[in-house]
Amino acid sequence: MNICIAGAGAIGCTLAARLAKSGQNVKVLARGATLETIKKKGIHLTDIEGEHRVDIVASNSAEELGQQDLIFVCCKAPALPTMLELITPMLHEKTIVIPVVNGIPWWYFKGIEGRFSDDYIQAIDPKGSVSKLLPQNHLIGCVVFITAFRNSPGVVTSTNPHLIVFGEVDHQMSERLEEVRKVIEDAGIEARATDNIRDQIWTKVAANITSNPLSVVTKGTLEQLYGDKRLKPLVRKILDEVLLVAAAYGARIRFDPHTFMELGAGMGAVKTSMLQDYEAGQPLELDAIGYAVLELANKVGIPMTATQQLLDLTHFIASQPYSQKQD
């Protein structure tokens, strides 16, 4: 397959390195210092199997990279509309596009029957503006359980086990779904195909919403957020709220709250991606990780008081001028 990784952050570089190492024809759509570094030095990944350095074709031009069979869109949620526009020249009739993005996806109500079929989630897809950028037939959903840290452009550390779950938007099993799963498995990443990707989405949303915003407020690590007795009651309150909303949408989340908290604490002294973005002065994924969930809760009449207050506090902190953040 001709594979493109659109976006060369921590997750994008991890995928690119593993796929290239497995012999796939991989190219990277990148820009700025990251692009120049990858052109000159390739990608350097340190993971549980050791250190890997791979040379990869990289460009800031989709036209130059040409049409692709499989595109992983690896960017933060605020950059998603721009990235979907950028990849358009790489699409052919059967191109598979897999957004590797945290939070509730813009396509959440597409492809399945239900009370809110074909609704738009205004927090992330105002008036369907994002939906219009990519025909649904190109999409396969995914949820990534990879903890990765970008040390510098093109240099990434990811020392926890890797897992990616894939699923068709319409919850059907398909040949192309299995083909993608096999490509990722051959790259040394645990890969699963599911007939209900939305269950996995809620599992990851629960992890993100209970840790990311609070990490910006407290500067705490995962170990602290889920293990410190002063923070645990708030985290548990938010977890209970999001689990109630997930259940209202029919999601099956296969963990109990106590185990969830223990697993979170067991991740160790890891900074969340949102805290990393905050410290780098980057936009935060509050809409996709947080406010989209509040919108879904409001649709079914479920209050999320603790979650709302935390998101608003995080939004206030992030909106302050950078000089004030440093103070």
Cα dihedral 249, 250, 256, 262, rounded to 10, equals: -50
Q: 223, 267 in Cβ contact below 8 A? A: yes
199-319 CATH fold: N-(1-d-carboxylethyl)-l-norvaline Dehydrogenase; domain 2 (1.10.1040)
pTM for the full predicted model: 0.92
Q: What residue spans define the domains of the chain?
A: 2-195, 199-319
Q: What does pLDDT average to in each consecutive run of 10 residues of the chain (327 residues)?
A: 95 96 96 95 93 95 97 94 96 97 95 88 95 96 91 90 94 97 96 96 96 97 96 97 96 90 90 91 95 98 98 95 54
The answer to whether 210 touches 238, Cβ cutoff 8 Å, is: yes
Whole-number pLDDT of residue 48: 87
* pLDDT given at position 255: 87
How confident is the model at residue 327, as a pLDDT?
44
Alpha helices in the chain (DSSP H): 10-21, 32-41, 62-65, 80-86, 175-186, 197-218, 222-227, 232-248, 257-265, 273-279, 286, 292-299, 305-319, 322-326
pLDDT at residue number 27: 97
Question: Domain 2-195 maps to which CATH number in 3.30.450.40, 3.40.50.10240, 1.50.40.10, 3.40.50.720?
Answer: 3.40.50.720
